[in-house]
A and B are shown apart, each in its own frame.
Chain A
Amino acid sequence: METSPTSSESAPLVRAQDLRKVYRFYPSPLARVRELLAGPGARFHREHTALDGIGFELGRGEALGLLGLNGSGKSTLLRILCGVTRPTSGSCEVNGRVSTLLDLGAGFNADLSGNQNLDHASMLLGLRGETLEQLRPRIVEFSGLGDAMDDPVRTYSSGMVMRLGFSLAVHVPFDLLLIDEVLLVGDEIFQRQSLRRIRELLSQGKSIVLASHSLGDLTAVCDKLLLLERGRQALVGPTGEVIRRYLESSERSARRISEGDRLLQGTAVPQETLGKIRIAGVQVLDGSGAAVPELASGEPVRIRIRYRAEEPVEDPIFRVQIFRNDGLWLSGTNTARGELALGKVEGEGTVTLVYESINLLDGDYFLSVGVWPDEYPSYLSRRPFDLHDRAYVMRIRSGRPEGGGIVFSRHRWERE
């Protein structure tokens, strides 16, 4: 696909220079008043630097991917690009109209019908009435909502609300589309339709900024990548180069995510534990038992769990779950299902889960490791002895082009 911008468009669509965004947190409204009264120099707040030193340019027809863990500043950068949040310092010029796929249900009034909400949303977007009337048939058709457009939005499923929001956002006139990857979910048919529409828009010379933690999606759509790490621009450049350098930085492989890391605070379920037996350490190792920065698809993996029993425990169950980085549970197993009866457990020890071949493709995956008193009736109703919820990262790299997606099954092609 030809993506080079025409020479007549001399100014880039987006030019961000030295962007910095600092959020201030005041313990109470009074602290703000006190700070105001105390004059310059006094500080009654704590600061969080969400973005620092971000600078890039984006031309027309280009797609930029924002790569980074949760809390790395992707959403803040998207909000600055769509003009909702102002940077604390630095500048961000956008020379065109912006449409967003963020928070798709926002702006909808649940009591109004889909059509009435379209009227209102078009006003929020600053569209003229006749523009909306031209677009309406296409928006409705793409959303697949049909007659439901006359029903109040409160009767819609969350998927229907998203389809309406998505359909509106991709059909209004714009030059730059901001996408939060989390939104590219929903039923599979609509998801495929959405991705097709995004590619179509790119080929029409629209620009896209896509925030994601999935390397696969980013390589599929983006020309350029910007890697964010704790609000800093760790890498920026052509997709292939950034991914290569990203994967080379080995320090990011199988590591325990430190306490207070913002990554998992949002997703981890705080849970009371019973104690008695603790997980002392988890290592993700290759088939030979060596610690390596990344594991290869299709190769053996050993997950080694060290435990320490503070008092003797009868038949505890060790459980390991693998999650994708958006929280999708991919796989899970436990010692009861693996028919490893541990009997009475005392003192320190180790159990190891051995995958003969890990059939996951390129990406960072999260491991939850827990020790439980029993398996049934439900993990939700029970308290574990100890649980490290999504606390370990397992980096998988596909050495060969096995195919796309998350899972890989050993296969071959035949012609009959």
Chain B
Amino acid sequence: MKALLAEVWSRRALVASLWRSDVLGRYANSAAGFIWAILAPLALIVVYTAIFSALLGARVPGGAGGPARPLGSPIPNGIGFGFFVFAGMLPWMIVQQTAQNAPGSLLNHGATLRRFAIPPSVVPAAVVLSAVTDAAIAGALFVVVLAATGRLAPVRLLALAPAVALLAMMALGLGLAASALNLYGRDVAHAVAALLPFWFFATPVCYPSEALPLSLQWALALNPMDGFLQTARWAMVGGALPSVLAVVWSAAAAVGALALGAWIFQETRGDFADLL
């Protein structure tokens, strides 16, 4: 894991260049260009705040028009529910975008990897960088909106830094493993795509964790995303402090995922040139 991280770090300019080329390519030949990088997440914010507050917010306990909620519950009501959903969406976006783009990434860069003697690890690393940057743009806009509506506590935002770092580690671990294994059988990309919705709905992004029945709370306890979501929500929209157990578990899972992903990648990389 150390060797792999050192390798990626030593070629960080290349990772950035891969990311840059990806972004430039994405917005090339479009009239609005980079404005889309802001418009798309802005639209997401509008959708989540408006739709979830207006429609779903009314139905969840404590939502506007719902029954009175017990004191100290972390779930805000009204437009606050939209903010609550969006704050949880941001960490999920990193995982989702990595899961969508990482498995095929080595294959997509096959021609490049066959010609240039570059460490292949930079390719999934660039995917993660791209996912983190997109979430960061959306997050920055969200922070502006929060500030404008007077909901921001700047000090709490500091908690995001370690959370994003750990989340990026987890995403990199997944990206490394999926991109390497997908070279042996394309089933990996399909399986990841098929399993992703299960993980999404097992993660309390669009619903408060209290909405899960008691019989399913164990699944929530095992889900490494929960600590990240709790931290992101607390940092951006406030509410209850994240549970120490969930945060520690998420951090451990992130380090574990990176160690496992790096191990798989290092064990298999000798075969890459022949499989590409």
Contact = CB atoms under 8 A, between A and B. Distances in A.
Interface of A: 23-24, 29-30, 32, 79, 82-86, 98, 100, 102-103, 105-107, 109-112, 116, 119-120, 123-126, 152
Contacts of A106: 111-112, 114-116
Contacts of B36: none
B18 to A, nearest CB: 8
B183 to A, nearest CB: 10
Nearest to B116: A124
Given A24-B274, A123-B17, A116 B115 contact: no
A112 B14 CA distance: 16
A105 B110 CA distance: 12
B116 A125 contact: yes
Given A29-B187, A100-B115, A111 B270 contact: no
Contact of B115 (A107, A110, A111, A123): A107
A85 B111 contact: no
Contacts of A120: 17-18, 20-21
Contacts, number: 74
A119 B17 contact: yes
B32 to A, nearest CB: 15
Nearest to A110: B25
Interface string B81-119: 000000000000000000000000000000111111110
A82 B114 CA distance: 10
B21 A109 contact: yes
Nearest to B26: A111
Given A79-B273, A85-B273, A111 B29 contact: yes
B34 interface: no
Contacts of A123: 13-14, 17-18
Interface residues of B, number: 26
> Residue among B11, B13, B17, B116 with the most chain A CB within 10 A?
B116
16 contacts: A84-B114, A85-B274, A98-B117, A103-B114, A106-B115, A107-B115, A110-B25, A111-B25, A112-B21, A119-B17, A120-B18, A120-B21, A124-B17, A124-B116, A124-B118, A152-B29
B213 interface: no
Contact of B270 (A86, A112, A124, A126): A86
A107 B187 CA distance: 26
B5 interface: no
A83 B112 contact: no
B273 A111 contact: no
A112 B25 contact: yes
Closest 5 CB pairs of A and B: A29-B185, A83-B117, A123-B17, A111-B25, A106-B111
Contacts of B39: none
A350 B269 CA distance: 57
Contacts of B26: 111
Contact of B28 (A24, A30, A125, A152): A152
Nearest to B186: A29
B115 A86 contact: no
B24 interface: yes
B184 interface: yes
A111 B28 contact: yes
A331 B123 CA distance: 47
Contacts of A126: 11, 14, 118
Contacts of B113: 84
Given A107-B111, A112-B28, A84 B21 contact: no
